[in-house]
Structure 1
Amino acid sequence: MADLKEVIPTIDLQEIPDKMLNQKIREASERWGCFKVINHGVSMSLMAEMKKTVTDLHELPNEVKMRNTDVILNSGYKPIIELNPLYESFGLYDIASPKAVNTFCDQIEASSDQREILVKYGKAMDGLAKDLVRRLGESYELEKTDFCKGWPIQSRISKYHFKPETIGRSGLIVHTDPGFLTILQGDEDCGGLEALDTCSGTYFPINTLPNTLTVNLGDMARIWSNGRLCNVKHRVQCKKAARRITISSFLLTPTDLDVEPPSEFVDAQHPRLYKPISDGELRKIRMSHSMHDGESLKYITI
């Protein structure tokens, strides 16, 4: 069987005019639920420094890693477990907040240089994520396009332990992200990320190229858009024996803020699909029912 080809678009964020760029982001978000971006404003040097920082932090002793505790539900350190035996990750809630970064770094005794890189990276991801959401709002001609102002951005910095005997196995189970939007800095040396094409029911690869970031939409984006945006299902497959380092930045809605569609998304042809719900309540549903791939939305479907 021939290797599947990547099908999602790569979008140049310095493309002009803005209206055409915004439309491309909208079309990719509706059709695929994901796309890649170049000329995104995050320097290659910062991306390289962040990858080295993440790699070094994963060399810490397990007892130190375990000090990275939850701020919100399921947001702290995730050790290797039976469900995900090839994967571990740190969680940093609100990476755009220097105070939150310092708390995280105090827990695991990170160096001053590592703190500085985390703060710079968090600021860059926060700016990029909110710019993308603003562009989505503009593409729908919403009256209010700065609705995500003040939303937190969570970082999950991950390491995959791929070995010769694990090739062909799942590195991370099929899931949707619970938040609104995710920006992923993948590993250029070890791929494996795949996303579901809802039209064909098949998975396609998402390849990591230099100075390229992957963007995907989560459950909250689907709720907010009244079903217009695709909360893409994705997974990680072990393709080769290698260490895999990734950095995911999740733009979240506030844990106690109920999300519902703007009035522009609801009319006689498009009745309301979901009950209003907060990020915190949606996470509780996902956790209590062990649901990972968007099935939790059936509990709030009208």
Structure 2
Amino acid sequence: MSINIDDNELGIEMEEAFTLCPSLPVPNVQEMVEINPLQVPKRYIRNQEEMEKVNYMPHLSSEIPVIDLTLLSNGNMEELHKLDIACKEWGFFQIVNHGVQKEVMQNMRNVTDEFFKLPIIEKDKYAMLSNDVHGYGHAYVVSEEQTLDWTDTLFLLIYPTRFRQLQFWPKPPLGFKEITEAYSSEVKRVGYEIISSLSVIMGLEEDALVGLHKEVLQGLRVNYYPPCNTPEEVLGLSPHSDSSTITLLMQDNDVTGLEIRHKGNWVPVTPLSDALVVNVGDIVEIWSNGKYKSVEHRAVTNMDKRRTSHATFLFPRDDVEVEPFDHMIDAQNPKIYQKVVYGDYLRQSLKRKMEGKKHTDVAKIKESSKGSV
């Protein structure tokens, strides 16, 4: 079946769906470090309470679940049980045997490294507009007083292809578009397999969650964290949970920077060679009525090495309505989330600075109204 959409209609659809939210202009961290490696402006510095070093628990890193995607996709009951436990207790897990070739992953790392090595005058050709998050720059900066993150970002919408804004896709480096497509296509396949397995452990048909999206959207956020002279005083990325269905992250193999909150503590996610880190997004938490958790996470920096991460977000279309499934609600588990339109939910989260899970309040049923639900 073919659907004809004229250019005007498509333009309106794109504008409504993907003009997201403004972010205030702030300095380019990478260039600031190159000019003066010893400088750390006050606007990036956090106090010890914010850094929560007393809650740092590196010994728990080895307990973060590792799941074999080949077994999971084949319906292996033990692996499905591991996925259930991972989503309930951690909200994060690492995926191995995912089938994405090492060469594809390394090519993606290489081409984004080449982009961030370009002179600032070249990178700024792809700068974010004042009212959107596509391109190169910084998102979630909503006030002049806000403490800033020690990172620069490149955000691209990948799928569906008709929503791409190719003016923000760098040209150099050579082959950027082809390499990004090859990597993103494979990650999409992995993401679909994980979402299908989530359907199974939630007691649904295997294709139910993908079907509920109407159309799965996929975005790529490349985060570049330069070295910092005082890493104990800054964060690469503030604590937050993701407004996605799921997120798949490719870390550098040799630099740890991602930390997740587990039972009140911060646990580093030590990279496994060529594994993908997967985390539950807010949408799965809403669907499951809180059974599966979208967990706070953050990024830290170090004094010696730059770090690059590639986060792929899978999320619903703007007009999709999201609420807990009926079978996730009972006397012991009363409904805690109301129905939300995903586009409204996403924009509400983008209007705030990253601040843990406070952005999820907009979807929660207020205490006074729970009795009438």
Query: TM-score scaled to structure 2, two decimals?
Result: 0.72
Give the deviation of 1:115 after TM superposition: 1.2
Letter aligned with residue 5 of structure 1: L
Give the deviation of 1:270 after TM superposition: 2.6
Structure 1 residues 35-86: Cα deviation after superposition (integer angstroms, max 9, x where no partner): 1111011111111000001111222344544435469954443349774342
User: Are 2:94 and 1:36 aligned?
Assistant: yes
Give the deviation of 1:144 after TM superposition: 6.0
Larger radius of gyration: 2
Matched residue, 2:347: 284
Structure 1 residues 89-116: Cα deviation after superposition (integer angstroms, max 9, x where no partner): 11011x2444555x43665324562211
Q: Distance in 2 between matches of 1:258 and 1:63?
A: 42
Matched residue, 1:252: 315
Query: TM-score scaled to structure 1, two decimals?
Result: 0.88
Matched residue, 2:22: none
Matched residue, 1:118: 180
Q: Distance in 1 between matches of 2:257 and 2:137?
A: 20
- Identify if the C-alpha distance between structure 1 residues 159 and 141 changes in structure 2 by more than 3 Å, giving closer, same or farther: same
In the TM superposition, what are the counterparts of 1:93-242 in structure 2 within 5 Å?
93=157, 95-100=158-163, 103-104=165-166, 107-110=169-172, 113-143=175-205, 145-149=207-211, 150-167=215-232, 169-198=234-263, 201-242=264-305
Structure having the higher helix fraction is 2
Letter aligned with residue 54 of structure 1: T
Q: Say whether the 8 Å CA contact 1:219–1:294 is kept in structure 2.
A: no
Matched residue, 1:78: 137
Q: Distance in 1 between matches of 2:110 and 2:220?
A: 15
Q: Say whether the 8 Å CA contact 1:166–1:238 is kept in structure 2.
A: yes
Q: Distance in 2 between matches of 1:145 and 1:48?
A: 31
- Identify if the C-alpha distance between structure 1 residues 195 and 3 changes in structure 2 by more than 3 Å, giving closer, same or farther: closer
Q: Say whether the 8 Å CA contact 2:238–2:354 is kept in structure 1.
A: no
- Identify if the C-alpha distance between structure 1 residues 110 and 104 changes in structure 2 by more than 3 Å, giving closer, same or farther: farther
Matched residue, 1:273: 336
Matched residue, 1:92: 156
SS in 2 for 1:35: strand
Matched residue, 2:64: 8
Q: More deviation in 137-146 or 30-39?
A: 137-146
Q: More deviation in 59-68 or 176-185?
A: 59-68
Q: Distance in 2 between matches of 1:283 and 1:62?
A: 30
Q: Distance in 2 between matches of 1:181 and 1:294?
A: 16
Give the deviation of 1:166 after TM superposition: 3.1
Q: Which runs of 5+ in 1 are unaligned?
A: none
Q: Which runs of 5+ in 2 are unaligned?
A: 1-53, 366-373
Q: Distance in 1 between matches of 2:216 and 2:129?
A: 18
Matched residue, 2:110: 52
Letter aligned with residue 4 of structure 1: H
Aligned length: 298
Q: Distance in 1 between matches of 2:108 and 2:327?
A: 39
Structure 1 residues 114-167: Cα deviation after superposition (integer angstroms, max 9, x where no partner): 211111111111111111011011112214633324211111011101133335
- Identify if the C-alpha distance between structure 1 residues 98 and 280 changes in structure 2 by more than 3 Å, giving closer, same or farther: closer
Q: Distance in 2 between matches of 1:186 and 1:119?
A: 18
